[in-house]
A and B are shown apart, each in its own frame.
Chain A
């Protein structure tokens, strides 16, 4: 087991900069999500850590040992692929045994370790099956057992749950997290699914166009995004753009928005404010502002009912704002209704214009 340190790694394919000076510290035993849209470089970064590809510049260390020029087969990592990549010509047990067998372990050791790994992923009785006889979730478990049976220093997962349906995904998220805790292995997990990143990881790194946009615990990134991209990619956010005033921004129409969270910006600079839809209160009148300094008037253009909550789309000054209201049994607002939106400065994140 070991931590992974990526320092100033760059990698280009022709004119395309897939990774541009990326540095991240993956702590020993942590569960790390690399989140980004397709083409953001997250898979390229994972492949550099795995050793399938080497960086043009920068350093990668696993457990303090420089590995940026060590090929994958010598890095002692475990990897789970998006499409599972199980060997079709081998049984489940032989798939799991492969890593031990190429290392020349004895038959007895292999049998014990394979059984232990299969038990860990709750497939103890399916060793004799062939991969094509398994369901998607079972294949995923075999792939995981195969990756961890060799006791790798790092576990790398490339969109491992991407091919599973929603219900199975949630099960596997819990399962993966349980197994990761049980063996305490440093885990790096590539995904484009923000919910998956939020629920599973200790820390998230958001990538965009080959650069690390922001990195930190899920709560921190969600509550204190440092860019409009981070605010809108991880979760939903209403973005207001204007000029910094010292304690918030002023919109082009003169409305002031107070912000207590985020960067301190010099007055006059271009800036944005981000507000999560669930932090905004919506009402039909302006009474009882209850200390919530920020207030805007608008008109409901659309309501989407999702059972436990409703999403209101509110038109205001040419902008559509999103407000999520928990279903508390209170009266629902109709489309076309004039409303007042209120929220506190503590719920408002000030972001320097990018």
Chain B
């Protein structure tokens, strides 16, 4: 009896430590974004000064908007292209299909540092150069495999007879896709889209390679700001990003769970 209790207690302690390890730095950072002292001095004095000064930091605001814009456009493009590609891979048999599918996975494993370098060289070679457009292209390329993997996984649970049944009832390709296939894979499409958003919004390495001083994203801008000298504004913007990212991840988790139901 006593042993069970101790084990139970140890288990709780373990989970508590794990959560502390994960969240304590974030919580401290969030708290410090509301602290008057810029040098983490205690006692804690409440202020929203850093959020106000963040609001006045035009460079950071501009970078934030760039990040959001790029993430949204990346999400739309890669979700549409990725879902269409998944459907094509699911429906059609063609020469080199296995090879093509095998080629889709390595980009997820290749370090972003290397992908970033390769993109930089390539974009210079073809005349696109650096800047927001280059960043967008890079992000779409990074996000696509994630969307395809997630949507394809969902398609594995789809019975092909459903499309045949719809066709036998007179539905054309568009009606089959819209009314039968898409509703079924929608949880996968949404989860894929959230992945794409996260990959783009959190992207530092590739963005860093492709950014120019005027055209940059939030993670790159934060990195530059820290190098210049740390201010609690960074805490403030980081707190905002964490809240948004966590909300997104909770949504993703919800859709993945939904996807597992019959």
Which A positions have Cβ atoms within 8 angstroms of B? 50, 52, 71-74, 76-79, 81, 83, 85-89, 98-99, 102-103, 132, 146-147, 150, 156
Contacts and interface: CB of A to CB of B under 8 A. Distances in A.
B182 to A, nearest CB: 10
A132 B262 contact: yes
B175 A102 contact: yes
Contact of A98 (B161, B164, B171, B172): B171
Contacts of A86: 165
A351 B170 CA distance: 46
A84 B208 CA distance: 54
B4 to A, nearest CB: 40
Contacts, number: 66
B254 interface: no
Given A85-B159, A85-B161, A85-B162, A72 B168 contact: yes
Contacts of A99: 169-171
Given A88-B184, A98-B179, A102-B175, A52 B164 contact: yes
Contact of B164 (A81, A89, A132, A146): A81
Contacts of A98: 166, 169, 171, 179
Interface in B159-218: 159, 161-162, 164-172, 175, 179-180, 183-184
B184 A89 contact: yes
Contact of A102 (B164, B171, B183, B184): B171
A72 B167 contact: yes
A72 B167 CA distance: 6
A83 B171 contact: no
Interface of B: 159, 161-162, 164-172, 175, 179-180, 183-184, 262
- Looking at chain B's contact residues, the main secondary structure is helix
A50 B168 contact: yes
Nearest to B262: A132
A150 B165 contact: no
A77 B164 CA distance: 12
Nearest to B180: A87
Contacts of A73: 167-172
Given A89-B184, A102-B175, A132-B262, A83 B168 contact: no
B164 A87 contact: no
Nearest to B169: A99
Contacts of B172: 73, 102
Contact of A87 (B162, B167, B168, B170): B162
Contacts of B165: 79, 81, 85-87, 146
Nearest to B183: A89
Contacts of A52: 164, 167-168
Nearest to A89: B183
Contacts of A79: 164-165, 168
A76 B162 contact: no
5 contacts: A73-B172, A99-B169, A132-B262, A147-B169, A156-B168
A74 B167 CA distance: 9
A322 to B, nearest CB: 39
Contact of A76 (B164, B170, B179): B170
B131 to A, nearest CB: 43
Q: Tell which of B162, B166, B169, B175 has the most Cβ of chain A within 10 Å.
A: B169
A85 B163 CA distance: 9
